[in-house]
Amino acid sequence: MHNKLENKANNVGNFLVRTFHYLALFAIGSAIVWSAFFAFLEMTQKNSASIEDILLLFIYLELGAVVGIYFRTNHMPVRFLIYVAITALTRMLLEYMNNWHNNGNSGLNFDILIICGGIVLLAISILVLRYSSYNYPSEKK
C-alpha cells in the first residue's frame, strides 16, 4: 500500500516537473524568437545593420540553439552559454571601441582592457571544458 502511494506520488511529481520544464522552455524559446523578430524589424526600419546588430542576431541564434539542445537532451550546454557570453562581450567591445574612436580616445581605455580580459578568460574556460570533456568523459547511463 505504501509503495503504491509513493509510486503514484512520484509519477504525479515527475509529470508536473516535465510539464513545467516544457512550458518554461516554450516560454523562453518564444521570448527569444519574439525579441529577435523585433530586433530584425528595427534593422529593416533604419535600412541598415551595424556589426553590433548582426552580433545581436547571433546572440539570439545561439540562445535558440541552447534552448533546442536542452529541449532534446535535458542537458544544459554550458559551452554554448560561454559562446553567448563571448559574443555579448564582443558586441560590447565594438560599442566601446566605436565610442572610444568617436570621442577622442579618452576615458574608456581601462573598460576596453577589462572586456578583452573577460573574452580571453571565457575562451580559456572553453579550452578547459573541451579538454576535460575529451579526456574525462562522463559515464553513459
What pLDDT does 108 receive? 60
What pLDDT does 141 receive? 53
**Nearest by Cα to 92 from 132, 123, 55, 64:** 55
pTM: 0.76
d(CA 37, CA 57): 9
3-state secondary structure 68-94: HHHHHHCCCCHHHHHHHHHHHHHHHHH
Q: Would you write out the chain's pLDDT as a tens digit for each of its 141 residues?
A: 678 888 888 888 999 998 998 999 999 999 999 999 999 999 999 988 888 889 899 999 999 998 998 888 888 888 889 999 999 999 999 888 887 777 766 666 788 889 999 999 999 999 999 999 888 887 765
C-alpha dist (Å) from residue 32 to 38, 67, 133 = 10, 9, 29
**Nearest by Cα to 64 from 95, 92, 37:** 37
What pLDDT does 31 receive? 96
What pLDDT does 140 receive? 64
